[in-house]
Amino acid sequence: MSSFGFGTLTVALFALVCCSGSDEKAFEVHMRLEKLIVKPKESFKVNCSTTCNQPEVGGLETSLNKILLLEQTQWKHYLISNISHDTVLWCHFTCSGKQKSMSSNVSVYQPPRQVFLTLQPTWVAVGKSFTIECRVPAVEPLDSLTLSLLRGSETLHSQTFRKAAPALQEATATFSSMAHREDGHHNFSCLAVLDLMSRGGEVFCTHSAPKMLEIYEPVPDSQMVIIVTVVSVLLFLFVTSVLLCFIFSQHWRQRQMGTYGVRAAWRRLPQAFRP
């Protein structure tokens, strides 16, 4: 064999060994989740796989309860249960002494089941301030929630929320406004929207019970003075009449008692002393 042919064969064998080793070192790890967002205590499935032909070890790392359902050389299928808060899952495989992993976030959600609306005060004068408060207990994740305060179909105020601690939270939105005459003809309500579309979920909408304001026209100051004066005079006349009636009744009673006393004494006198 010529030196050229031997050199070519050597280069080919070297390239084959190098390429084969590089394929093993360039392996990938994949993770496929049945759901990215789940209800508390709900179960879901996770599949971990790799492009390595003969992985040395592999699996799923999580603090949650897991059960291995099926497995082959390049993949493993798990059932995850008893989730109660947001968590991170890790799929990992080791190929030719090198380990790779892939992670995915799983979120827990609780849709808004109750929405409470409060109007304070419920009886307000035109031009005076009143407050609308919307409260939604036990809802998550808060960063996917929007509360809208409505007057009829008109949106008065919308509020979104930041990511909170991994626990059920209470969301509150407050809005203050000046009372107008037409406010008494509209219902006030609150709409809670939990939008989970970006996380592979759905949209949950819940309305509060509608409430109405009692609107009245404020009485001008001059009229108020007149009303107070008239009421005061009437009250004085009433008290005076009661006192006069009491005095006259006592005077009449004393006169009557005096007349009856003289007659009784006259009857008690003996006949001999009478004229």
Query: Which tens digits make up the pLDDT trace of 202-220?
Result: 999 999 999 999 988 876 6
Structure token pair of residue 156: 């008065």
Give pTM, 2 decimals: 0.64
Q: Which top CATH class is 29-108?
A: mainly beta
What CATH architecture does domain 116-216 belong to? Sandwich (2.60)
DSSP code for 218: P
pLDDT reported for residue 273: 47
Q: Environment class of residue 91 by beta-carbon count within 10 Å: exposed (0-12), middle (13-18) or buried (19+)? A: buried
- Residue intervals of the chain classified under CATH 2.60.40.10 are 29-108, 116-216
Task: Summarize pLDDT for 218-275 with one digit per residue, the tens.
Answer: 766 556 666 777 788 888 888 888 777 777 776 666 666 655 555 555 455 455 545 5
Query: How much is the pLDDT for 136?
Result: 95
Which residue ranges of the chain lie beneath pLDDT 50?
1-23, 266, 269, 273
